[in-house]
Structure 1
């Protein structure tokens, strides 16, 4: 079982969401579930590995609860406490707490300051072997619960799967309570879950919506959604056609944000308290949808971090492939996306984050759960199965992303596709390819694969290598460039055009826009004045490479 540890929760959520006061059993303590404390409900006798959120309990008054949680073999207790200085992931120094023997929590808050009460709670937790953590004063318990439950429940399976499975159970429960077939939708009218209670009528539009996982669009439907989302409670909506039944619906909201809606088919036999039951169902749906979102965001964060480590070579490839859902030996390639000229803009970081969202959305639409990450202003995506037609589809995907992102962000976007590598262990090389492609793209190019620009990429890397070594950067090319600068001649560009033209004098003259005799004269003078041997193929090759890469000359663009 892939159980989360206390240390992983702290790494995932971090401060200020969660602060560690003490962890006497270490950060490798497994956390199996997250429970909410209810002072009016019986305390569980055994809950091994549970993390208890002590709703309504402050750190300085947690002594008795520490004893009960430790007796139930829980992993830790989360209480509300002062922000205080950051613990940096380590427990408070022992001198800040007495050695042992504090009294019951009911009397701790009286006759002693909050600081002493907090120290007493830390000492008791340390004595009992229980981790003690705090949340910020302003943190909402339901939000903390969603984050922690999502972190504990996050697995390599599709994010939010458990919560969306719970939505089907909720749809069935609402249908039973209300008395009509029920669906749960997201804000885009996509059907997330539906009930399957025998005997409850389902009309044809509902049946088609369930089959297609999408509510059929129409102007009448749009108007009903407008009415629904403008209402603060359940609304009754008339049938839109002869083959359709009326509806009872309610918006699902959390903190003013619309998360979706619940719809019930009304055949005239709904329960008397149907509206109240539906409103209660919407409240539960909001928690489940928030949980699904938290799990999805956490899963994205974890896969993104894993891809980051794969790209820089610090992740173990076999483990990373398994966590990313890739079978052993799956060929992959890296696609890199960058905003043109936006890195230094004041809103460049925000634009890059929006680009990350757009790339992730498009990749997830085609590949399901997907690994994307933003590194130094470049968005990287890991694309599986890239040979043959799959490679062509990935090229079209990159083009589609570039087009959509450019329109949405109003900034030109460019993409580079690295070479296909046979397994995840070689991803770093494909990332280097993708980076090179971005560097050599021409002004009119937006997308290219390494195979399409390899010659340019090789020349770029050769130029960098030549420039780094003194013996490789020396040679006749420097004398030619210096002579041109001192005498107003154009020998260097003439040589490059001639060599680019395959030593064809007529073609070289066309590149230079001069008469072929002028080109011949310049080459004779270059030989005589500078002593270069243009009959030696090695000399020509080295001279061409140095003039192209180090002097930056190119006959085709002259």
Structure 2
């Protein structure tokens, strides 16, 4: 008992301890071999956990799935070990040849060469019966009370050894967990201190995102509320968050909606929404370790999102807290940027107000200097565009939405009168930029319809007033009929003056009355008078050029022009008639009053 106790205190492995128990049974009581059997966790069978004197072949034989079943289906295949375990008391077999009720023994005993055995259960103080000690004798024999007592004493020692080993294992697990928790806590504190150093150093959003990406071994993206990327990392191997299409359906949409209610890191499952996310070049991206998103809240409202994509491993709770701390710092950076945007918006609005002062800016050079301070060179030609909303009314942060949509070439933008003015450097690709702005504005302001008119190019500061009036006149004209969409009035010539000065309703009546008979004729007969008139005027009133453009015979063009003259009662040989028709077509295009 002392030897076994010393082995337990020395943290000897459990199989070694149980082998000692088996050796003691053989040495003290005179058995030829001995085994300690432990029950499997599901208590379906017993297994040899330690032995002395048993051959490897015998141990392998009793370890198969059909041996040592605790509850065999056929009672004739029962074993003394299983009965001792079930009954919780010692079972003896004086001669295997006479033990008809233990059918399993007649198969097993010859393999090891024993005739008698004794099986005593292992009773643990806390866990209950753990298994049995089975001692074997090569000769048939009767077991005296002293021998039974010694075997039961060794069984109790084996049970205590198992219990002590379990307690020691639990203790080691607790120690290991405490050490791990300490390591995790120290790691979290290191990350917190590193984060605070970054904040105090004022490194900016880009370096904060890079630091978090390095910490988690992940791709990190910070988006504003409109989905515009504010910062991302790492530079190589970057994995983007789920694409816009995935965010509009299924689990990704649900997770993003939950951000409004829960101020914590949320896991999303982009693959469950139908397809994987898309990479920066449009190819599917596999997120092996998931996608996580944290809200960036400013003033109680969602101001941005912090995405963590494909980390080394799913973030543990302490790592999620690190992400949440980063989100708080990102909120500070976003708030700083929002304050800068607010200041810039006020400065831009004041600048545009001075630029569009009736009669032109009072101090042109001062306007140029203020624009340059905001990053805009108004000495260069600029296109003047006007954005209007329906229904009208205040639209907080509309300038922010516009700049986010035109991130590559943000305009000088600000409110003026009842519209928003956008000034872009003259150049290609402007139509696509403005269409993108229309889309983003209507997404950011559900229930509102946006109309944008592209006015003439202002060559210098003094030209912006007239260009603005033309664009604003086009917006007013479109809104009287059917608001929404993009109107281009950059190259109207004399008609621009009428847009600048004319009343929208009067222009609409003028166009409708002049073109009504021609439009009605086309509607009844499926004719091409209106398209022919448009091409004829654009071709400098050349019949042959019009015929080539429309791929028809010149006589057909002449017939159609004559029909227009007859329907309108006006001669197209007169320059004033041609000017009126050109203006009517322009107004018709702006208001899109097809069939009127």
Instruction: Report TM bin, short chain.
Output: 0.3 to 0.5
Greater Rg by CA = 2
Q: TM-score, normalised by structure 1?
A: 0.41
Which one scores higher on RCO, CA 8 angstroms, separation ≥ 6?
1
